[in-house]
Amino acid sequence: MFARRARGLLDFTFALLCVWCAYHHTPAGALVRRTGAWAFHTRTTARPLLAYYDGVSGTAVPTPAALPASMLTRVPTSAEALAWGTHSALKGLEPKAREPALALAREVGIAPETLLDPGRGLAATRRLLDAVAKDFSSEEARVTAVFAGRVPARFALERVGAGT
């Protein structure tokens, strides 16, 4: 059946792996599993066929949070968009990873718990970004300062400036 026995076994193994992947991870495989379940009157573990095309079902990617109502009626300014993105990222972080942002908020006089508040968090995050704007002129540097702290952000800016 195969030209060389050792290579033939390897080819056969990889062919089985490809068939298994196609059976379990493609819409055609889901269709075969659904048809088989229908024919044998059993249940199937196959996802609905359209779920293969939505880009998020069955993956670890979280669905994006809804925009605040104020941003749905008009195009947000650059500062509003930056604050919303920073606020969303802060909410998604582990508690330990939020510590630099919460410490920076305390340092500039913003109550740290307001950064994570669903109602007041967006405004608090914007105030935090505005407070560090005098030390960091670029948006990237401000976001770095929020997530890493002032000292690491200043060091990163010096390193970037030294390279140019």
Q: Is residue 49 part of a domain?
A: yes
Q: Is residue 123 part of a domain?
A: yes
Name the residue range of residue 16's domain: 5-53
Q: Are residues 103 and 48 in the same domain?
A: no
Question: Distance between CA 59 and CA 26 in Å, rounded?
Answer: 14
Q: Which of 92, 56, 132 is nearest to 84 (CA)?
A: 92
Q: Are residues 80 and 150 in the same domain?
A: yes
Q: Are residues 49 and 81 in the same domain?
A: no
Q: pTM of this prediction?
A: 0.58
Structural domain total, the chain: 2
pLDDT in tens, the chain (164 residues): 555 566 788 889 999 999 999 888 888 888 899 999 999 999 888 877 777 776 655 555 455 566 666 666 778 888 888 998 999 899 888 999 999 999 999 999 999 999 988 888 889 999 999 999 999 989 999 999 999 999 999 999 888 887 65
Q: Are residues 34 and 101 in the same domain?
A: no
